[in-house]
Structure 1
Amino acid sequence: MVLILAPRRRLVPVVALFTFVFVLLFLRRSDGYDYGAHVPPSSSSSSSSSFFSFLGGSAPSPQPFPPTSERVPFRNSSFDWTDVDQHFPIHSMIPLPTGRPRRRIPRIQHDFSPSFFRTTTTVTTTETELEARRAAVRDVFVQGWKTYRDRAWGQDEVGPVSGEPKKNTYGGWAVTLFDSLDTLWIMGLKDEFYDAATYAAQVDWAAEKTRAEGGGGFNVLDTTVRHLAGLLSAFDLSGELALLRKATELGDLLYMAFDTPNRLPARWANLNNMRAGTQMAGDHDPSAATGTLALEFAHLSQLTGDPRYFDAVARVTRVLQRTQHQSLLPGMWPRLVDFRNERVDTDNAFTLGATAGSLYEYLPKMHALLGGRDPIYEAMYRRAAETAARHIVFRPMLPSDAAHQREEEEQERGEQTPIQPSRPRILFTGDVYVHDERIDHIPETQQAACFAGGFFALGGRLFDLDHHLDMGDQLARGCAWAYDAFPAGVMPEVSTLIPCSRSSEGNEQATDTASADIRSKKSRGDEKKIGRDHRKALEDGSGSGSGVHLDECPWDPDRWAGEGDPRLRKGFKNVKDPRYLLRPEAIESVFLLYRMTGKEDLRDIAWRMFQATVNATQTPHGNAAIDDVTAHQGGTNKIDSMESHWFAQTLKYYYLIFSPPDLISLDDFVLNTEGHPFRLGI
């Protein structure tokens, strides 16, 4: 109204101001920075982004990069791998994608701020309680870190039972130290951070590895996601240039693993073979071993301006894209891949668990890291996630809460009472084995596959797939439910559940029909037709006999009596590997779902998980893996192992879920598979 009554000459500056502001709305997420520079320039104020948040803008501007610092001293390694000629040189470089994406990256994190247009989520935990929970997590971290600092400094791991160093679990390059750098910073342990950063920035990759392995080799995947990623994320948070320089040294060493005839990396890189040019990609390697390098190498190119690193992993991505529909389960890659011959049809096993899971995890994360500028990752995610949703994800058959509580009462009274279904809406992931005439869906779930909740949720957020976000929520809650299902209060490595009957969606009949049709065609010798029909059944799910059960399948007490283990919580068939190895995947998904949805009950779930985990694993020297989760917390048998992911991921996710949501915001960072945050918007 004021604008309408104002004189025209007053309207000009007002209109100009609003025009300028709305132009910024489209420009606020920059295309990048001068890729010839080693460090992105620090930005100033981000006040405009809060204005756009007030207006309901899709995603805030990334937080400014920290000022660069040279507080940490740097020392060169004794060998420079850039001096070694490539035996299989490339002739054209795949550059980092530039320009404007077809679609802007949306807001990933739930908007926790109040405004006239939205309300905050219901707060169930006070700030005092949250502060106490953060302090409890930090105390557990500090106890384990102090043991490592005092008893195993520079070694890979310290034994939480013996208190003795365990040097070579990851090659002798102080993996606990490198993996803990960003956690130290995030928890505000700055003195400890600078002690560790000073050690890390002076490691001699050549000398240390020669001493540790006698001039031998190292695991490319582990070194990339732990050591390289630890350095990159610590630089992103602190701005310490020495850490980026040390990361570049390591990147040059790791780059040599790609010097093979087809430019796909060796899984186990040997220093002598690197020099001689005799390395080859594996012909029976875990698909994740080669498929989980992209985030780290791409970010190293972003920070250094050197396109070699991105080119290396982009070539892997192109092979994965080309072969995605050539596997026995089109849309997914098997556990084991022949990277040497670039074939994905030599293995019939498919999973989101160990050996394969992190390959899928990196598809939406690479889309976010590159600002959506390369559409290949969205396309690959959609195909893989839809296939996994049809074939890998399943709903367990569970009694309703009311049924569970009333069963003993009914037995005592000898009567039947009507029960209203009130079952938890939870999902799990299993395994698939593809055969010539059938597909076996195995409801065997791994704790390593619990990352799937965050995987589907992130894809749902990035690509506007609400059903994926909902699936992610149910998967995250499924793993949290499994923690509560065992006496130790934590989930086992591998367990089998009783799935909902596939006939509840009519798929069992479809599977029988498809199998009969295949047998009929086979008897007529129509092999090509069999192949086409089998592939179609796999791709459209008509013969899968699986898929996500959206209905609430009925509880079948007779089926439970025949298949279930009466020593376990109803729903479980058996426990194949009862250990708990301090894994982070369950709390990772709970944390990510909280940050994406703002559902406050997830914080209370996380607190129960944390308390149970600590009670079951604590020792005088830290926290130990345990050998059997079916034992009660006070009676768990401890294994003398405290792997670095306890510091890098498990405790970090517990700390972050109880922290203010702007600490490592999902709109500012993407976390690699080892929990290391990489800054977005570069």
Structure 2
Amino acid sequence: MSTFESNLRRRRVELQFRKVTQQILRYPPWMYVVGLGLLSFISYMLLRPQAMRIGVPPLFYSDPSDSTESYPIFPDASTANLISVQATRQKAVVGAFKHAWKAYERDAMGSDEYHPDSGEGTDFSGDGGIGYFIVDALDTMHLMGLRSEYERARQWIQDELSFKRNGMYSTFETTIRVLGGLLSAYFLTSDPLYRERAIELGERILPAFNTPSGLPISTINLATIEDMQGGLRGGMGMAHGNIAEVASLQLEFKYLAEIAKNETFWRKAENVMAVVNKALPENGLAPIQIDIYGGSFIDSEIRLGSRGDSYYEYLLKQYLQTDRTEPIYKKMYDTAMQGVHDKLVQKTPTKGLTYIAPLTPQRLLKGGKTWKTGNRQEHLVCFLAGSLMLGATTSGALSQGVSLPPLPEELTPQGRRDWKTGVELLETCMRTHETATGLSPEIVTFGTDPEGSDRDWYIQDSSMVRGGSPPYDARYMLRPETVESLFIAFRLTGDPRYRDYAWNIFSAIEKHCKLQTGGYLTVLHVDQTPVRRFDQMETFLMSETFKYLYLIFGDSSVLPLHDVVFNTEAHPFPIFKPSIKPGFF
């Protein structure tokens, strides 16, 4: 039997199971006792928990925009064609990954960064690289079944990777990319090599937390670990940090603590959240700047883009990672999302596009301050669409098992609100791909004048002459946030339009970012063709963008959302009940 036939047969068995379990879920227990007798009642009680646990979806899903249309998950007449189309798309994504990896391996193997046009690699330290690119891409290779590429990468990690580099490294980036990549590889393969290297790296990062407040310093010298045990000396960095970097290390250090059986990793990460929670304003919205020494926020912008984004992402994911055993994170997440809806959610005056505005503090002449609402949204903010939808079906659900997509009666009022905003925000993010290239700009500005242009958004300073430098806002840096939200949206709805959106984005990347000699480049202006490009291929193309594209076109049983959480670099970790007793509730 071919792989295709095997997968198809398995899907048909799944559908039959769903039919049976949905019938079970329709009726209350007393009807089984009365109508079918004790044996049926026992069967009901045995099967119902399993059905609820896996979140058995209905056989038909409805459009998230409240359309009255319904569609079968697998229409009988076109099942084979449906699977064939998605398999072809998935194969194309694998081909793109191989195209990028082959060039990197040829030109820059071992380097932290890669510049495909010049065929060169660079490191974050003059003392050599610490595997940023390789480790970040490792789990994607494994998922795609690229055995030979994976084995060569593993060999490099075993033989060449060294963390004894005398240079300053970002605590945050090293944690989410390198530590996160090693932890994910261990989760997927159980290879002890990755566990050992993850523990070593974690121990080298730990001194970053030796500040008066316990908040981690922004940069650290991994080589001089023995000189930093005393705290703020040696390789420590600046005193001001940002909330995303400070409070987006927890998924990694908690999972590391679990596999290393080392409570120190857990307590260091957990203490950060206790300090942040104490400093938060009542509305749960965190200014992006925080005093590392004192543990208090500094007057600064509130935004869900750069320097703020993953803090909010990790509130929900910390609650989910430990199997909902730490309700404090649900409380912090729910409070923050209420604040987002009260202060940040905006709509354009003409077409009603939903976007997330930043807030900027302004001093008043007579003392005090006020907050100015902006009208710009970074591409980074598009993560929130999927996060809201995931939150609606977990934190905002009345029980752990919801339909696909969730029915209104299965969600709390907050869950229904968050689901609606998530769907609308994702549509806005897709609208920003309506450019000459089909790629979304780094930052869009939304119109606020009802009498203004018919177009609700534009790229600021996009009138720049062709010979000049394009504005930063106009570039596309191979970012994954919209694709990430499309992946989550598809997993939670089964709606094929999200796959089609993802395919359109991938096609645009192939057309405008791909370098024929190998690799992919940043596009400097998404609304100008032919494109001008910048010689940079970010590691998140390999770890996030291609991974989410691969997963959205594949079987949803691979890394199901009820079994894993993805860190902010798209490295999957398991959901587990912690063996370490949480100390922050």
Give me the TM-score of the superposition, normalised by structure 1: 0.68
- 8 Å CA contact 1:282, 1:338 repeated in 2: no
- 8 Å CA contact 2:388, 2:418 repeated in 1: yes
- 8 Å CA contact 1:122, 1:600 repeated in 2: no
**Structure 1 residue 283: Cα displacement:** 3.6
CA distance in structure 2 between the aligned counterparts of 1:640 and 1:234, rounded to whole angstroms: 29
In the other structure, the counterpart of 2:261 is 305
- Alignment match of 1:655 (pick from 530, 547, 550): 550
CA distance in structure 1 between the aligned counterparts of 2:328 and 2:238, rounded to whole angstroms: 25
In the other structure, the counterpart of 1:613 is 509
What amino acid maps onto 2:524 in structure 1? D
Q: 1:122 to 1:429 in 2, by over 3 A?
A: farther
CA distance in structure 1 between the aligned counterparts of 2:252 and 2:33, rounded to whole angstroms: 51
Give matches, 1:99-114, under 5 Å: 107=55, 111=57
In the other structure, the counterpart of 1:257 is 208
Q: 1:366 to 1:638 in 2, by over 3 A?
A: same
Give matches, 1:59-138, under 5 Å: 59-60=53-54, 107=55, 111=57, 120-121=72-73, 126-138=82-94
In the other structure, the counterpart of 1:544 is none
- 8 Å CA contact 1:156, 1:173 repeated in 2: yes
In the other structure, the counterpart of 2:336 is 384
- 1:443 equivalent to 2:375? Answer yes
- 8 Å CA contact 2:220, 2:237 repeated in 1: no
CA distance in structure 1 between the aligned counterparts of 2:341 and 2:393, rounded to whole angstroms: 16
Largest Rg, 1 or 2 = 1
What amino acid maps onto 2:316 in structure 1? P
Give matches, 1:282-301, under 5 Å: 282-301=238-257
CA distance in structure 2 between the aligned counterparts of 1:496 and 1:2, rounded to whole angstroms: 58
Give matches, 1:457-496, under 5 Å: 457-464=389-396, 465-484=415-434, 486-496=435-445
Q: 1:3 to 1:296 in 2, by over 3 A?
A: closer
CA distance in structure 1 between the aligned counterparts of 2:74 and 2:505, rounded to whole angstroms: 21
**Structure 1 residue 600: Cα displacement:** 1.6
CA distance in structure 1 between the aligned counterparts of 2:32 and 2:477, rounded to whole angstroms: 65
CA distance in structure 2 between the aligned counterparts of 1:443 and 1:460, rounded to whole angstroms: 26
What amino acid maps onto 1:497 in structure 2? F
In the other structure, the counterpart of 2:292 is 339
Counting matched residue pairs gives 495
CA distance in structure 2 between the aligned counterparts of 1:356 and 1:602, rounded to whole angstroms: 26
Give matches, 1:166-245, under 5 Å: 166-168=122-124, 172-207=129-164, 209=165, 215-245=166-196
CA distance in structure 1 between the aligned counterparts of 2:416 and 2:355, rounded to whole angstroms: 18
**Structure 1 residue 204: Cα displacement:** 4.9
**Structure 1 residue 205: Cα displacement:** 3.4
In the other structure, the counterpart of 1:517 is none
In the other structure, the counterpart of 1:630 is 527
Q: Residue deviations 1:658-681, cap 9 Å, x none? A: 111111111111100000011123
- Alignment match of 2:46 (pick from 5, 21, 26): 21
- Alignment match of 2:359 (pick from 412, 432, 449): 432
Tell me the percent identity. Answer: 27
Give matches, 1:406-555, under 5 Å: 423=351, 426-435=353-362, 436=368, 438-464=370-396, 465-484=415-434, 486-499=435-448
Q: Please state whether the residue corresponding to 1:595 is helix, strand or coil.
A: helix
- 8 Å CA contact 1:147, 1:622 repeated in 2: yes
Higher relative contact order (CA 8 A, sep 6+): 1
Q: Please state whether the residue corresponding to 1:496 is helix, strand or coil.
A: strand
CA distance in structure 1 between the aligned counterparts of 2:254 and 2:32, rounded to whole angstroms: 51
Q: 1:636 to 1:629 in 2, by over 3 A?
A: same
CA distance in structure 1 between the aligned counterparts of 2:383 and 2:270, rounded to whole angstroms: 24
Q: Please state whether the residue corresponding to 1:582 is helix, strand or coil.
A: coil
- 8 Å CA contact 2:432, 2:444 repeated in 1: no
CA distance in structure 2 between the aligned counterparts of 1:350 and 1:496, rounded to whole angstroms: 17
CA distance in structure 2 between the aligned counterparts of 1:163 and 1:198, rounded to whole angstroms: 23
- 8 Å CA contact 1:281, 1:339 repeated in 2: no
What amino acid maps onto 1:278 in structure 2? L
- Alignment match of 1:274 (pick from 207, 225, 228): 228
Q: 1:653 to 1:2 in 2, by over 3 A?
A: closer
Of residues 471-480 and 190-199 in structure 1, the stretch that sits farther from structure 2 once superposed is: 190-199
- 1:672 equivalent to 2:558? Answer no
- 1:361 equivalent to 2:317? Answer no
Of residues 570-579 and 586-595 in structure 1, the stretch that sits farther from structure 2 once superposed is: 570-579
In the other structure, the counterpart of 1:142 is 98
- 8 Å CA contact 2:211, 2:292 repeated in 1: no
CA distance in structure 1 between the aligned counterparts of 2:259 and 2:275, rounded to whole angstroms: 25
- Alignment match of 2:496 (pick from 586, 600, 607): 600
CA distance in structure 1 between the aligned counterparts of 2:41 and 2:300, rounded to whole angstroms: 62
- 8 Å CA contact 2:444, 2:457 repeated in 1: no
- Alignment match of 1:645 (pick from 527, 531, 540): 540
Q: 1:152 to 1:242 in 2, by over 3 A?
A: same
**Structure 1 residue 274: Cα displacement:** 1.5
CA distance in structure 1 between the aligned counterparts of 2:44 and 2:357, rounded to whole angstroms: 53
Q: 1:261 to 1:663 in 2, by over 3 A?
A: same
What runs of 5+ residues in structure 1 fail to find an aligned partner?
Answer: 26-51, 61-106, 210-214, 399-422, 502-555
Q: 1:155 to 1:439 in 2, by over 3 A?
A: same
- 8 Å CA contact 1:157, 1:174 repeated in 2: no
In the other structure, the counterpart of 1:156 is 112
In the other structure, the counterpart of 1:32 is none
CA distance in structure 2 between the aligned counterparts of 1:126 and 1:113, rounded to whole angstroms: 16
RMSD (CA atoms): 2.8
**Structure 1 residue 201: Cα displacement:** 3.4
Q: 1:450 to 1:16 in 2, by over 3 A?
A: closer
- 8 Å CA contact 1:479, 1:586 repeated in 2: yes
CA distance in structure 1 between the aligned counterparts of 2:452 and 2:515, rounded to whole angstroms: 41
CA distance in structure 1 between the aligned counterparts of 2:190 and 2:346, rounded to whole angstroms: 44
CA distance in structure 2 between the aligned counterparts of 1:130 and 1:638, rounded to whole angstroms: 30
Q: 1:2 to 1:140 in 2, by over 3 A?
A: closer
Q: Please state whether the residue corresponding to 2:228 is helix, strand or coil.
A: helix
**Structure 1 residue 20: Cα displacement:** 8.0
Q: 1:281 to 1:262 in 2, by over 3 A?
A: farther
Q: Residue deviations 1:523-550, cap 9 Å, x none? A: xxxxxxxxxxxxxxxxxxxxxxxxxxxx
What amino acid maps onto 2:540 in structure 1? H
CA distance in structure 1 between the aligned counterparts of 2:339 and 2:229, rounded to whole angstroms: 41
What amino acid maps onto 2:104 in structure 1? Y
Give me the TM-score of the superposition, normalised by structure 2: 0.79
- 8 Å CA contact 1:282, 1:340 repeated in 2: no
Q: 1:259 to 1:112 in 2, by over 3 A?
A: farther
**Structure 1 residue 393: Cα displacement:** 2.0
In the other structure, the counterpart of 2:198 is 247
Q: Please state whether the residue corresponding to 2:565 is helix, strand or coil.
A: strand
What amino acid maps onto 1:444 in structure 2? R
CA distance in structure 2 between the aligned counterparts of 1:291 and 1:126, rounded to whole angstroms: 41
**Structure 1 residue 16: Cα displacement:** 10
- 8 Å CA contact 1:476, 1:589 repeated in 2: yes
CA distance in structure 2 between the aligned counterparts of 1:371 and 1:676, rounded to whole angstroms: 18
CA distance in structure 2 between the aligned counterparts of 1:2 and 1:290, rounded to whole angstroms: 53
What amino acid maps onto 1:590 in structure 2? L
In the other structure, the counterpart of 1:586 is 482
